[in-house]
Structure 1
Amino acid sequence: LATFSLLIPRWVGARKSSFACDDYSIRNPFVKTQTISAVAVILITLITPLLIILITEIIIDRISSRYLRFKFRSFNVPALLVHIIAFEGYFQLGYVMQVVVNQVTKYAVGRLRPHFLTVCVPAPYNCTAGDRFVYDYTCTGDTKDVDEGRLSFYSGHSATAMYTATFTAIYLHARIGYIAPRIILSTVQTLLFTGGLFICYTRIQDYYHHPTDVLAGAIIGFLGAIYSCFAWADIWLQRGSYSPVHGTIIDEEDVGIPTTVKVDPRTSVQEQTSTDQP
């Protein structure tokens, strides 16, 4: 579904929007080398949360007084591994969804980028009146640059950056907010949002998006992360003792008494049934 949602708009093409003769917001220079490329944004927004989730879950596992394992068929899977996969999975699910929404919106709206006329190099057209709208025009510039020039709304860089920053910040607060030093946790969360905002600012600086495109992208990314955290992951309830997935786990306490623990995925309350009979 995600693949088709990304490919179909490209096959159909972006909407061909008109422009006003006196619209100087789309006459800015074309910066071929972006401050932060799309590949760089993808790498940053995928690797950073993964590293933070890995480190956080390892810390929780190390300070826990119990060794938890999930029972999967005939296998006992360490809870550390299950938690890492589950939280990363929640993040990835929201990540893919917000990318799909962004791509569909870009091609459906077809807003012209700030450098559109520079890459379009339109053939002579009638602009005798400054407030005249040009509907029928032919671009003579590079086809690839022209097609990209129609995808201004909304900023995918901004949406992805703010989605990542918001999701990761909430995850940290929910998982280790009760044990981590406040100054360290606040510093990491501030750095996450600062990095996300920096990516947003570069899109305006490079003339790839209008300020309203960046603002819309940041808001949508932020709201997408909130939705992922609360609607899918119930992440606010996921403190250190909470299991993010359905299932039965084996809890081996320090005293060596095996205990079956049934985990309610929407609360941090665990119902325990001891297998040690009197």
Structure 2
Amino acid sequence: FGWRMPVWLYECSKQISTFTFGMLLVLDATELGKYTIGRLRPHFMAVCQPILTDGTTCNDLSNRHRYIENYVCAGNGYRIEDVRQSRLSFPSGHSSIAFYVTVYLAIYLHYRLTWRGSKLLRHFLQFILLMLGWFTALSRVMDNWHHWSDVLVGILLGIVGAVIMTRCVAKLHKDGRMCNLKLSLPRAPTTTTLQEVISTPPPYTLNTMNGFSNQQYCTKM
């Protein structure tokens, strides 16, 4: 739009847009798994309260050890939305998003927090981030909202998404190497150079009297 943007604002907007784009992709992949698989949550029976076509329920002795396909959810005390959500267990959306956010930020800190005295601080912040994601994943099993396999797949999905975005899209590893570049060129020994005596000067140092034109002399110099 014809106005100058500060460098820090440009970098900030670029990282936020990349981070948000990756999170939306992970969310889409999670939702695709939920609506494709349709796995029942651990609390499905309590929310659905299924009633069979003959009017019996799962608590009746005649229905024990039976694989029931045709039923209607009574859902007394629950909304239709609660019953619908009870069928979307695989994979865990909280786990995938939580691990995408925490792993992405941990990798970002690894390449951006380059202050020499911040090594332990950086590792501590990375540990805190990963523990937040781990606690979020554990809480889904603890609250009887997901099976452990749902949480495991959600964790893997979030980690894969974060690694792909930071390495292939944001390319933090390349920017990090450029920011942390330390020029350590080997110092050539000067003893030989200082004591060296050149018997014959190079041809391009001769003047035009020795066969070189002024143009060739200037070009060589």
Which stretches in structure 1 are left out of the alignment for 5+ residues? 1-72, 243-278
Matches of 2:169 and 2:117, distance apart in 1: 25
Matches of 1:241 and 1:89, distance apart in 2: 22
- The TM-score with structure 2 as length reference comes to 0.72
- Kindly tell me the number of residue pairs found equivalent between the two proteins: 170
Match of residue 82 from structure 2: 145
Deviation at 1:133, TM superposition (A): 1.2
Deviations 1:60-96 (A, max 9, x none): xxxxxxxxxxxxx743321100010011111000011
Aligned residue type for 2:71: Y
Match of residue 136 from structure 2: 199
Aligned residue type for 1:117: M
Residues 117-196 of structure 1: pairs in structure 2 closer than 5 A: 117-123=45-51, 124-125=56-57, 128=62, 130-141=64-75, 142=78, 143-177=80-114, 179=116, 181-196=118-133
Matches of 2:116 and 2:69, distance apart in 1: 60
Q: Which runs of 4+ in 1 moved over 4 A?
A: none
Matching residue within 145, 150, 156 for 1:213 = 150
Higher relative strand content:
1
Deviations 1:86-135 (A, max 9, x none): 11111000011111111121111100000000001111257746543111
Deviations 1:136-158 (A, max 9, x none): 11110032211010000010000
Q: Percent identity?
A: 32
The reply on whether 1:100 has 2:37 as its aligned counterpart is no
Matching residue within 41, 49, 69 for 1:113 = 41
Q: Give yes or no for contact 1:159–1:221 (8 Å, CA) kept in 2.
A: yes
Instruction: Select between 169-178 and 95-104 the one with higher mean Cα deviation.
Output: 169-178
* Structure 1 residues 184 and 173, CA gap change in structure 2 (3 angstroms): same
Match of residue 60 from structure 1: none
Matches of 2:153 and 2:128, distance apart in 1: 21
Matches of 2:2 and 2:136, distance apart in 1: 47
Name which one, 1 or 2, has greater alpha-carbon Rg: 2
Q: Secondary structure at the match of 1:138?
A: strand
Matches of 2:136 and 2:31, distance apart in 1: 18
Deviations 1:229-263 (A, max 9, x none): 11211111122856xxxxxxxxxxxxxxxxxxxxx
Higher relative helix content:
2
